[in-house]
C-alpha cells in the first residue's frame, strides 16, 4: 500500500496482523490554513486534516476521514474526544454511537483502529507480542506526566495477558526538543515523579527549559517495564518539518494528523509502504 507524502507506516516484527500508520498534512481535501502547503500535483493535493474541532470545513474533514478509511480498505476508525487526560477507553465495548472522551484507546477487534489526533503532541502506538491487542495514546506533556502511557500499557497487557516487556511501541511525529520550550512547572511535573526525567530538559534561561518529549516517553515506558529495544520511532519534529505536518505551536490555527493502529482480519494482505524512517 502506498501512502501519501510524509505518512509513516509502522512495522511490527513478529506481528503479521498488526498495522499502523502516522498520517501527515498531505493527501486530503482541506485548504487554506488546513491545506497541504507544498503545491503537490495530483488528485488529492489538499490537506489531510482529520480534526473536526479546529475550524475546518466539515465537508472537507468528512471527505478526509472517508479517504483514510478507503486507503485502509474500509477500516473503521474510532476518533476520540481528547482532553489531555489519562483515561483509556475499551473499543471492544463501544456502541459506535457514543462519544469517546479519553486520550487513549485499546482494542482486540479486527479492522477497528485505535486512533489519536495530534499537532505537536506525541502519538504513541502499542501492540501486544502476538497481535492480541493494540492501542493508541495521545501524549501531550500533561497526559505524559499524568501517566497516560502507563495506563495504556496496562490496558494492552490486560487484554493480551502479556508482560510489559513484550509489548511493542511506536513513537510518532511530535514537537522536537529544539522547539518545545516549557516552564519550571512542566519540568517539576516530570522530575518530581521520576528523577531520571531531568535528563530530558535543557535550561535556556532561568525558569525556561527545552523539553524532549521523545526521551520523556522512553523513560516512562522503560520505567513501566517496556523493553527499550522494542520502542521504535521518535525524532520526527512537527515544527522542523512543518511542510509535512500540522503544528499548533508554530501555526496556532491548523489541522490535526493521526496516529492509528489496528489488527487485520485473518488472511488480509499486510503489505504496507510508507515514508522510510
Inter-residue contact 165 to 188 (CB < 8 Å):
no
Residue 45, pLDDT score: 65
Residue 270, pLDDT score: 45
Bridge partners (DSSP) listed for residue 163: none
Residue 96, pLDDT score: 87
φ, ψ dihedrals at 109, nearest 5°: -85, 125
Instruction: Give dist(CA 49, CA 30) in Å, integer.
Output: 6
Inter-residue contact 11 to 274 (CB < 8 Å):
no
Inter-residue contact 275 to 257 (CB < 8 Å):
no
Q: What is the secondary structure of 115-164 as a DSSP string?
A: EEEESSSEEEEEE-TTSS-EEEEEE-HHHHHHTHHHHHHHHHHHHHT--G
Rounded to a whole number of angstroms, the CA Rg of the chain reads 18
List of residues 6+ apart from 189 with CB closer than 8 A: 141, 142, 145
Taking residue 143's Cβ as centre, other Cβ atoms within 10 Å add up to: 25
Residue 272, pLDDT score: 47
Residue 39, pLDDT score: 44
Tally the residues of the chain. 277
Reading the chain (277 residues) residue by residue, the pLDDT tens digits are 577 889 999 999 999 999 999 999 999 999 999 998 654 444 446 999 999 999 999 999 999 999 998 887 779 999 999 999 999 999 999 998 899 999 999 999 999 999 999 999 999 999 999 999 999 999 999 999 999 999 999 999 999 999 999 999 999 999 999 999 999 999 999 999 999 999 999 999 999 999 999 999 999 999 999 999 999 999 999 999 999 999 999 988 999 999 999 999 876 554 444 554 4
Domains and CATH numbers, the chain: 8-174+230-263 (3.60.140.10)
Q: How far is CA 124 from CA 106, 143, 171, 267, in A?
A: 12, 12, 5, 26
Inter-residue contact 111 to 174 (CB < 8 Å):
no
pTM of the model: 0.93
Place of cell 485499546: 106
Instruction: Give dist(CA 117, CA 108) in Å, integer.
Output: 20
φ, ψ dihedrals at 51, nearest 5°: -90, 125
Amino acid at each position: 500500500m502506498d501512502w501519501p507524502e510524509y505518512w509513516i507506516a509502522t512495522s511490527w516484527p513478529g506481528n503479521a496482523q498488526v498495522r499502523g500508520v502516522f498520517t501527515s498534512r498531505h493527501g486530503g481535501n482541506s485548504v487554506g490554513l488546513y491545506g497541504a502547503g507544498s503545491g503537490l500535483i495530483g488528485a488529492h493535493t489538499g490537506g489531510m486534516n482529520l480534526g473536526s474541532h479546529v475550524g475546518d470545513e466539515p465537508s472537507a474533514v468528512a471527505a478526509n476521514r472517508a479517504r483514510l478509511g478507503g486507503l485502509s480498505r474500509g477500516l473503521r476508525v474510532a476518533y476520540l474526544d481528547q482532553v489531555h487526560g489519562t483515561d483509556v477507553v475499551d473499543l471492544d465495548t463501544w456502541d459506535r454511537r457514543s462519544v469517546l472522551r479519553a486520550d487513549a484507546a485499546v482494542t482486540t477487534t479486527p479492522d477497528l483502529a485505535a486512533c489519536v489526533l495530534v499537532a505537536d503532541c506525541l502519538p504513541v502506538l502499542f501492540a501486544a507480542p502476538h497481535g492480541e491487542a493494540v492501542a493508541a495514546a495521545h501524549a501531550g506533556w500533561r497526559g505524559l506526566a499524568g501517566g497516560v502511557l502507563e495506563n495504556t500499557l496496562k490496558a494492552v497487557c490486560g487484554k493480551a495477558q502479556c508482560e510489559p516487556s513484550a509489548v511493542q511501541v511506536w513513537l510518532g511525529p511530535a514537537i522536537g526538543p529544539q522547539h518545545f520550550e516549557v516552564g519550571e512547572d512542566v519540568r517539576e511535573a516530570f522530575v518530581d515523579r521520576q528523577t531520571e526525567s531531568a535528563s530530558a530538559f535543557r535550561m535556556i534561561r532561568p525558569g525556561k527549559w527545552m523539553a524532549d518529549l521523545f526521551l520523556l516517553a522512553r523513560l516512562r515506558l522503560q520505567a513501566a517495564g517496556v523493553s527499550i529495544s522494542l520502542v521504535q520511532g521518535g525524532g520526527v519534529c512537527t515544527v522542523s518539518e512543518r511542510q509535512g505536518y500540522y503544528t499548533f505551536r508554530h501555526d496556532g490555527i491548523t489541522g490535526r494528523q493521526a496516529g492509528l493502529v489496528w489488527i487485520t482480519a485473518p488472511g488480509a494482505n499486510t503489505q504496507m509502504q510508507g515514508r522510510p524512517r
